[in-house]
Structure 1
Amino acid sequence: MMRTITASQAKQNFGALLGELSHGPVAIERHHKTVAVVMLPESVASVPDPRQAARTAQKQLELQRLMRHQQWALSLLCATPSARQKQLKAARQGSNAGKTNSCVAPTTLSAGNSGWPARCLSWPNSCVVTRTAGDLPCGKTRLSRPLRLFSHEC
């Protein structure tokens, strides 16, 4: 638990306050409300920044969403026409209604370990990974155009 002292005690006994910092941070109160926390500079680095943690978590969620959509696109591309129609029909009917950030169809590919050769084009904040027909795991040999999959990392 953090030691607490009043603001007037901190002013009158600042040397003693600095001595207490070796045991941990000290909270300074004024009118029964914490107005400051005094700690050693080494302790500041160990305190996580909540905004940075929130940004990191949001980036991770976005990356996971993009990977699910990439897998969904590949499963549609590699599926038989009848299986593709079933998956699209299920998606259009909203069988995914109660779920957030998830795809309708199960995929056979796992993110990141497909082993395909990729060519990255320079875009701000992202890259475009282009796959050619010979790269597809399902063995399709014809594509009307290169399949572009978006990812934050190459």
Structure 2
Amino acid sequence: MSSSHAKQNFGELLEAAAHEPVAIERHKKVKAIVCSPEAFQGRANRDGQLAERRAARAAQALVDKDRLIKHQRLAIDLILMPQPQREALIARARAEVERWRRERLCSEDYIARWDALLGLPVEALASAMACESLEWGTALRQNSPWLLVTS
């Protein structure tokens, strides 16, 4: 609707805006959009929901980064700690994975992947745990058998 038509026929503009948003043009360029309060509120709600989803994704990214850092620190500790202490820590992690299996606490996919990782030589295990691009890395860090890391 042209701006002059909208000005001269304001009631018609309001009637049209009650059904759908109306673009007001001046010199063939949209200068305003008039809509009902319900349509405006619906847009505001959608924008708010989008912002909430973005915030939730950002918060989850921070949690995931924190888990990665904890696993990276543990990987360094595994390499540096004395062998008996390292073997005891890995044995506890294996026992935790076995408990998952026995009590059906998580998917067999996680159990199989952690079994495979815990079977690696310590340097390879540490490298895999510290790697950001580890296949299933984020999911594995969410379901970690390293009790001291997840607490």
Structure 1 length-normalised TM: 0.48
Give the structure with higher Rg (CA): 2
The structure with higher relative contact order (CA 8 Å, sep 6+) is 2
Which structure has greater strand proportion? 1
Which structure has greater helix proportion? 2
Structure 2 length-normalised TM: 0.49
